[in-house]
Chains A and B, each alone.
Chain A
Amino acid sequence: MTDSLDIVGQSVTRLELEDKVLGVTRYTADLKRPGMLYAKILRSPHPHARIVAIDTSAAEKAPGVHAVLTHHDVSSFAIEGDLLVLDARLRFVGDEVAAVAAESPAAAADALELIRVEYEPLPPVFDCGAALAPGAPELHPGGNLVDGRRLVVERGDTEGAFPTAFRVFEGVFHTAAHGPVGMETRSALAEWDDDRLTVHKTSRSLHAHDRKILSNALGIPLEHVRVICTSMGGGFGNKDEGRLGPLAAFLARKAGRPVRLEYSRMEEFIAGRNRQAMVSRLKIGVAEDGAPVAIEMRSEMNAGAHVASGRNVTRRIGQGALYLYACPNARFEGASVYTNHPAGGSFRGLGAPAGHFALEVLMDQVAAGMGLDPLEYRLRFHVGPEGQPGRRTTPPGEAIPDEPVEGGVPFSSHGLRECLLSGAERIGWRERRQPNGSATGPSRRGLGVAMGIYKGGVGREAQAEIHVDRRGRVEVRVGVVDVGQGSSTILAQIAAEALQLPLDFITMVMADTAHTPPGHITAGSSTTFSSGHAVKQAADTVRNRLRERAAATLGVSDVSLSGGVFTAQGREGAALTFHQLCAALPEPVIEQVTLTPGSTDRVINSFSAHFAEVEVEMDTGRIRILRYVAAQDAGRIVNPRLAEGQVTGAVLQFLGIALREELLMDPTSGVTLNPSFLEHKNTAIVDFPPVEVLFASQPEPLAPFGAKGLGEPPVVPVYAAVANAVANATGVWLHEAPFTPKRVLQAIAQQGADRP
């Protein structure tokens, strides 16, 4: 690896910043086409029902209406295993019944009211226990337990180990459903040119999902589908692959005109993909010195009507329990359960924040029970660079999973300890933290710590192309979507560094299936690591080819490249600018790379250690975050300002989720009662603390320029850091989130404010 880096490590201004600040950036819902129609969706008033009959004749005749779509008009292609384009079976209040395209949004909305639907209401089921009980109404063939089984992963033998434990600690932890609320609502614009389809769409996966789904659903060849998402107003892993694109495309085909479908905020809350409620039962057995000897977590996620990527969400609840503390025996059992709640799906961190909430709060209870300071406890027992005890189970030569279970595999880089120490120093843990917080009085202050472990970004097949033409234009083509996190800037920095060219020589081409090689989904904090790898490798090759050509042109054996100028080695004064060299190219230089980065003998993960200082009003249950320090190990930081923004945004987002945000479901009707910013309590700026961000210093040896994933890891410890600070302040353990005044007062009433 290069020791002196010019562009990687610099806080260059993000590429699209000026356009965004000036309001020039056009998001999907800003796009218009001549003759474009506006689509609206008729949504189910029932939590569970079957469409017996549907009469669209009046709607079709309504003024300005050009197409009405029902389940009779679409293919029977399953977008996902359990999701059709439209379905005669409705599974939540707000489920898609029919769609209308008309000349104005108002005309479309009026036409919805003219659609006559005869529903046969079916018995609904809303909670996991009831959904799994014998005789429960089945939402999908095969029952309500997704895949018909609980996922079980285990290292060692927990059953054998618990009886040997000195003490066993247990707790049940709940997290609520909430809306991810990207500022841009879901939107798609579909237009046909003969049998060729172009769809602009809010997306995180044009190549890997949307294009394939559209091709299959509409019955046209993949090459006839172009999907574009050049600007996204908030991704957070949540702009899913559901019905949006196919509905717009079917309507446009039926109407013979371009159609744009844009969700309202209410629809976004009800029919977007939410983070669903989870419950985890956690059991930790420790030895006499406090060392964990067995950790067992059993979790359930209320997946709602469709599971989408929910299996992965559930799996990741368990990763902290399996891997954050050195422990020979660990077991995770997870169930995803269908109910008549709105569908869940992916969202930043998947199940990890909920799982770490349980793990890190119960670990504080362990430390308290064993008479150890929570920071000291973690410093002593966190998983070390050598990894978990036990034996490797991945066959030799195969890639080590990014959510490992096995022991015997060391980490490739490991900055957890550094994060704990630097964060503790910054917040003043050793000087300022008292065992009982500020102890007495109506307002009490306390400090809390929590750690996090998360995927480092490996495991996705990534592709990149670099084109250098005779005008000296350098195009870096990558199929992934910059969902707003700044990956176009990061990949441009990686390309410029590897090419040894100034950043403004680089043109990024992303998120358009017509002009990019296949790209992976923007998920799992993988873009910097995986696509970055592909970009770097392509750029390394291009750089070497250009240098060879420059050396040949200059008639020397080697050249150096700096600032866009090739300088001959060993021949004073001989130089060639990059543009001179390009002008003489016989043909464009093109390099295409496909790879799946990772390691066959190392775990590559990102780490966090977060510290919160809170004040709790004992009489009102109000929690105020006074200060927050987030220390992250993401290897080398490609762009410190963007990285700091990632971490600050992550922490603020999850402070809101931990303290206030919750989708309130009516228990009898299944209605989402608060689908608005007013009543889904997204935090206002006055309630946010300053966030101090620290980064560990160790580059990841196997990553492009040493950079690991950072998009999701900083959300992981937030619930627990706050809950542990509250416990330090009040002596009360919070096991149920969000920590609203109601829940805090209930916890105080139940556990007693034993300090006067």
Chain B
Amino acid sequence: MKPFAYHQPGEAAEAGRLLETHGGQARLIAGGSDLLGELKDGIVHYGQLISLSRVKGLDQIHQGASGLRLGAMVILARMEGDPLLSGPYRMLAEAARGVATPEIRNQGTLGGNLCQRPRCLHYRSPWVSCLKKGGSGCPAMESGHQHYLSVMGAGDCRAVNPSDLAPPLVALAGVAIIDGASGSRSLPLTDFFAGPDQIAGRDNALRPGELLVAVELPPMPENWRGTYLKARERTAGDFALISAAFGCRIEEGRIEQARLVLGGASAGPMRCPEAEALLEGQAPSAETAARAAEAAFADASPLPHNGFKLDLGRALVSRAISQITSSTG
């Protein structure tokens, strides 16, 4: 690992200023569970690390009139068991519990989880150059090992955001709260992450000098329920190949307010409006679930070696819908 300077600002705005000052040389560090690995493996190098550990108020989960606010420095282990993450928000606790291992969950934060870098094997290899690392080509396209790449979109870089929290947060209509050198702003999470036709250099909508400080979730009806399912090669300590967050409420035997979000399918978490529309107002059934699953992947454009992820994704979507609609209402 190469040497770096370590900053511990006390305010988010100061962190933003440091980011702005050092530009591409600077990177935020929260739990460090992703970043330190990248630095040690020589995949990236930053001369300036800006720690968020002393920025006050970022590690709170707060219930207010406008909904639930989750600070970016809340660790995943806390999300697993926080009493506020119940009812409609229980899917978040479920998703947090499925991340990596207890050691990582004690260290990793919500903000870090959302801003972590892709698991694309070529991006993660110190021996190969790629678009996301500033190189001129994408070796993953020529490789048979495409299981961590997207099945949607047509960007030059098909790496995906591997976050397990992003899909349920998007399903809950989460809003990114952004702070920085030039003030604060908010952005729906759907617009926060790179879209299907991403530019390789950018994972999210943060501008130079900006940082994610919280995610706000609007109030949800008491009887809305969601779940998060993922397909992995092993049951623990593994990243999702593809995942699905689904939630709805059942009113008089009909599906209402359906939200379906895929992870690992596109560059960022991807809502499936056609599938949601198809479910809206329908009586739950295995056939309905299967049709929604088909619709979710209708526009898929898999790579030569990751078409199997469509099978996995459809199975997860069907299961998630059946699971929620059979246990709700």
Contacts and interface: CB of A to CB of B under 8 A. Distances in A.
Interface of A: 45, 93, 266, 617, 619-622, 660, 664, 666-669, 671, 673-674, 678-679, 681, 683-687, 740-742, 745-746
A620 B244 CA distance: 14
Nearest to A683: B234
Nearest to B146: A742
B236 A684 contact: yes
A732 B126 CA distance: 39
A546 B238 CA distance: 60
Given A668-B142, A741-B241, 12 more contacts: A266-B41, A620-B312, A620-B315, A621-B311, A664-B121, A666-B122, A666-B143, A669-B139, A671-B128, A673-B145, A679-B124, A684-B234
Interface in B74-107: none
B235 A687 contact: yes
B142 A687 contact: no
Contact of A667 (B143, B231, B316): B143
B127 A660 contact: no
B271 interface: no
B121 A673 contact: yes
B237 interface: yes
Shortest 7 CB-CB contacts between residues of A and residues of B: A619-B315, A684-B236, A673-B121, A671-B127, A742-B308, A664-B145, A745-B308
Contacts of A686: 235-236
Nearest to B305: A742
A207 B41 CA distance: 37
A676 to B, nearest CB: 9
Contacts of A620: 231, 311-312, 315-316
B contact residues, range: 20 to 34
B131 to A, nearest CB: 15
Interface in B280-329: 308, 311-312, 314-316, 318
A162 to B, nearest CB: 35
Nearest to A679: B121
Grouping DSSP codes into helix (H, G, I), strand (E, B) and loop, the B interface class, with mixed when no group exceeds half, is loop
Interface string B61-80: 00000000000000000000
Interface in B135-187: 139, 142-145, 147
B238 to A, nearest CB: 7
A738 to B, nearest CB: 9
Contacts of A617: 315
B39 to A, nearest CB: 13
Nearest to A106: B1
Contacts of A621: 308, 311-312
A666 B235 contact: no
Contact of A669 (B127, B234, B241): B127
Interface string B201-240: 0000000000000000000000000000001011111110
B125 interface: yes
A667 to B, nearest CB: 6
A683 B145 CA distance: 19
B233 A660 contact: yes
A687 B127 CA distance: 32
Contacts of B316: 620
Contacts of A742: 147, 308
Contacts of B234: 660, 681, 683-684, 687
Contact of A619 (B143, B147, B311): B311
Nearest to A748: B311
Nearest to B318: A619
B61 to A, nearest CB: 28
Residue of A266, A664, A666 contacting most chain B CB atoms (<10 Å): A666
A671 B125 contact: yes
29 contacts: A619-B314, A619-B315, A619-B318, A620-B315, A621-B312, A622-B231, A660-B233, A660-B234, A664-B121, A666-B122, A666-B125, A666-B143, A667-B142, A669-B127, A669-B128, A671-B127, A673-B121, A673-B124, A678-B237, A678-B239, A679-B121, A684-B236, A686-B236, A687-B235, A741-B231, A741-B233, A741-B308, A742-B308, A745-B311
Contact of B237 (A664, A684, A746): A684
Contacts of A669: 127-128, 139
Contacts of B233: 660, 681, 740-741
A745 B235 CA distance: 18
B100 to A, nearest CB: 9
A165 B184 CA distance: 80
A305 to B, nearest CB: 16
Contacts of B241: 741
B231 A666 contact: no
Contacts of A687: 234-236
Residue of A684, A685, A742 contacting most chain B CB atoms (<10 Å): A742
Residue of A620, A685, A745, A746 contacting most chain B CB atoms (<10 Å): A620
Nearest to A743: B308
Given A686-B236, A745-B308, A673 B315 contact: no
A668 B139 contact: yes
Residue of B139, B239, B316 contacting most chain A CB atoms (<10 Å): B139
Contacts of A679: 119, 121, 124
Contacts of A745: 308, 311-312
B238 A681 contact: yes
A442 B139 CA distance: 36
Residue of B142, B233, B237 contacting most chain A CB atoms (<10 Å): B233
Nearest to A669: B128
Contacts of A664: 121, 145
Interface string B228-272: 000101111111010000000000000000000000000000000
A744 to B, nearest CB: 9
A684 B235 contact: yes
Contacts of A45: 127
A179 to B, nearest CB: 15
Contacts of A671: 125, 127-128
B44 to A, nearest CB: 16
Nearest to A742: B308
Contacts of B314: 619
Contacts of B119: 679
A748 to B, nearest CB: 9
Nearest to B237: A684
Nearest to A670: B127
Contacts of B308: 621, 741-742, 745-746
B33 to A, nearest CB: 11
Contacts of A746: 308
A93 B139 contact: no
A619 B308 CA distance: 10
Contacts of B124: 673, 679
B312 A741 contact: yes
A647 to B, nearest CB: 23
Contacts of A93: 127
Nearest to A618: B315
A746 B311 CA distance: 10
A741 B241 CA distance: 10
A666 B238 CA distance: 21
Nearest to A622: B231
Contact of B122 (A622, A673, A685): A673
Nearest to A671: B127
A687 B236 CA distance: 8
B4 to A, nearest CB: 13
Given A266-B41, A619-B315, A679-B121, A668 B231 contact: no
A660 B315 CA distance: 20
A621 B122 CA distance: 25
A455 B137 CA distance: 50
A673 B236 contact: no
A441 B238 CA distance: 28
Contacts of A619: 311, 314-315, 318
A158 B231 CA distance: 46
B125 A673 contact: yes
A621 B171 CA distance: 27
Nearest to B239: A678
B143 to A, nearest CB: 6
